[in-house]
Structure formats: structure tokens, C-alpha cells
């Protein structure tokens, strides 16, 4: 199609990222600033309204974008590198190795991830805090738990992608061009990354854009259980969850649900669009 569409999409994503990084600095409110204008609908002082504590929703959404985009990015990156490589190798080698590698995926997949995260946090939270305290990373120390959450999510996010890539590879490796590459004596890594990888890129891109919302929502669920983001910080997920808790048949502060939902939906739409465009470009 038109590269203009791609540029527009990239520009929007860049704007979102910049807004997440610098937006909170321009806001007259801070992310945890409590005021007496509680549950106020949108007006000129609070463009997107305020929550139960009188905190500005726009500021919190911008701030929440940092955590959510970061969680999404970490999840996607781990999925991409670990999942794709694992799937490629497993599918290509086949036979016993494939079977063993896939059973390992099954094991990790079957374990409830909240146990993983609870144990991870309880065993390493304080240790990581002390470790970071001594170094130049000290400001990160109070976010030790968030880092562990990233690790916990990363540990499980690549599994589905590995399965999907493997299934593709099983089919691709029997095709003529792979067979001929093997015949002319190309080594395995070359075949894997030069011949097969480009063939699975489209499905990987599609799946990544699907995985991103899943990771962002997974984070909100863990935060909801007390295993993720610590109040008074926020992520899109926790903002959405807080809004959802206020839904009832009598009176609902609609802005606390509509705006976070719209922002999330818009971001996902952009990412999916980007995936589509990139796939076209690759052809």
C-alpha cells in the first residue's frame, strides 16, 4: 500500500511513547497527588476527570503508559528472541530433540504463573533490593518487584510463540527450497536463519501484536492480586481494573472506564496496523 500509512502509524506510536516519557513532566499534577476534587467528570482543569482520590486521570494514564509499554516491550522482546529461536530449532531438528523440547514447553505452560511469580518475588525481592541499593542502579531498588514481575512474565510469554513457530517450521522444512539448500551443503544455522526464518516472520509479527495486549492485561491481573505494580504508581492494566471495579447498575464514573479502554484499544490498533504494514514491506 502506501508508505504514508506506515509513516503515520509510526508517528502516532512515537508520539505515544514520547507522551509517556515526557507527558507527566508537563502535567500540573503528579501521579500520586491527592486532591479534594474526587470522582470529577472531565472538565477544563482535569481533561479526563479524576478518580476516587481526586487524582488526575490523564496524568495517571500517561504515567501508566510507561509501565504498560515497558511490560509489553519486555514480554514481546523475550517472546521474539527466545520463542522464535526455540521454535525454529525444535521444529527443524525434529524427532527426539523436538519431542523433548516441546515437552519442556508443556511443563512450563502447565504451571500456574501466579505461583511462579509469588515464589520469585518472595525469594528474590529483598535480595534484589539490597543488590541494587549498593550500585548506581539504586533508584531502581524500590521497583525490584516490578523487575521480578518482568522476569516472571518473560519466563512464560515465549511459550505459545515457540509452539506456533515450530508448527510452521515443520511444514516449511519439507519444502523444495529448504531441501535444495540442504543438498548444496548449507549448514544448519544458515538454513534456519537465512531460509526458514524469513518464512515465519509474518506469523511471528501477527502473534507478537496479539501477545502484547495479553502481556499488558496479565500484568494488571497480577497487580490486582498484589503481585505487581505497587500503589500509588499505576499501569494501564491497574487503571482499567480499578475502573472496572466501579461498574454497577446504579452509578458509574464512566470516564474511569472509557478513557483507559480507548487508549489501550487505540494503541493495540496501531501496533496491529504496524504489523500489517511491516509484513507488506517485507514482501
One-character DSSP codes across 75-102 = HHHHIIIIIHHHHHHHHHH-HHHHHHHH
Which DSSP helix (H) or strand (E) runs through 128?
A: helix 113-133
SS3 166: helix
Query: What's the closest the beta carbon of residue 118 comes to another protein, in angstroms?
Result: 5
Nearer to another protein, 37 or 190 (CB): 37
Write the CB contacts of 224 (distance below 8 Å, at least 6 apart in sequence). Answer: 238, 241
Query: What's the closest the beta carbon of residue 25 comes to another protein, in angstroms?
Result: 20
* Rounded CA separation 60/50 (Å): 10
Query: What's the closest the beta carbon of residue 167 comes to another protein, in angstroms?
Result: 4
Q: Which of 231, 162, 218, 171 is nearest to 199 (CA)?
A: 171
Q: Which grid cell is 176?
A: 523444495
Query: What's the closest the beta carbon of residue 175 comes to another protein, in angstroms?
Result: 7
Nearer to another protein, 45 or 262 (CB): 262
Nearer to another protein, 151 or 246 (CB): 246
Query: What's the closest the beta carbon of residue 211 comes to another protein, in angstroms?
Result: 10
Nearer to another protein, 38 or 130 (CB): 38
Nearer to another protein, 20 or 240 (CB): 240
Query: What's the closest the beta carbon of residue 279 comes to another protein, in angstroms?
Result: 7
Write the CB contacts of 250 (distance below 8 Å, at least 6 apart in sequence). Answer: none
Give 261-264's long-range contacts (Cβ < 8 A, gap of 24+): 263/61, 263/65, 263/236, 264/213, 264/216, 264/236, 264/240
Nearer to another protein, 22 or 115 (CB): 115
Amino acid at each position: 500500500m502506501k508508505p504514508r500509512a506506515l509513516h503515520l502509524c509510526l508517528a502516532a506510536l512515537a508520539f505515544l511513547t514520547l507522551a509517556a516519557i515526557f507527558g507527566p513532566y508537563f502535567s500540573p499534577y503528579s501521579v500520586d497527588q491527592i486532591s479534594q476534587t474526587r470522582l470529577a467528570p472531565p472538565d477544563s482543569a482535569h481533561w479526563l476527570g479524576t478518580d476516587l482520590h481526586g487524582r488526575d486521570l490523564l496524568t495517571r494514564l500517561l504515567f501508566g503508559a510507561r509501565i504498560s509499554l515497558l511490560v509489553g516491550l519486555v514480554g514481546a522482546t523475550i517472546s521474539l528472541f527466545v520463542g522464535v529461536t526455540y521454535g525454529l530449532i525444535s521444529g527443524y531438528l525434529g524427532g527426539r530433540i523436538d519431542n523433548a523440547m516441546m515437552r519442556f514447553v508443556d511443563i512450563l505452560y502447565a504451571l500456574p504463573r501466579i505461583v511462579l511469580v509469588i515464589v520469585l518475588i518472595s525469594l528474590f525481592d529483598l535480595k534484589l533490593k539490597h543488590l541494587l541499593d549498593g550500585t548506581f542502579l539504586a533508584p531502581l531498588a524500590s521497583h525490584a518487584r516490578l523487575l521480578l514481575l518482568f522476569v516472571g512474565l518473560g519466563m512464560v510469554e515465549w511459550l505459545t510463540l515457540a509452539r506456533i513457530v515450530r508448527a510452521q517450521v515443520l511444514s516449511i522444512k519439507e519444502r523444495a527450497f529448504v531441501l535444495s539448500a540442504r543438498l548444496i551443503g548449507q549448514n544448519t544455522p544458515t538454513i534456519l536463519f537465512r531460509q526458514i526464518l524469513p518464512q515465519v516472520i509474518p506469523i511471528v509479527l501477527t502473534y507478537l501484536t496479539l501477545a502484547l495486549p495479553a502481556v499488558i492485561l496479565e500484568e494488571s491481573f497480577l497487580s490486582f492480586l498484589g503481585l505487581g505494580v505497587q500503589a500509588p504508581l499505576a499501569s494501564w492494566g491497574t487503571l482499567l481494573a480499578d475502573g472496572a471495579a466501579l461498574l454497577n447498575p446504579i452509578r458509574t464514573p464512566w470516564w474511569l472506564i472509557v478513557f483507559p479502554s480507548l487508549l489501550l484499544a487505540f494503541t493495540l490498533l496501531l501496533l496491529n496496523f504496524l504489523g500489517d504494514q511491516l509484513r507488506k514491506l517485507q514482501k
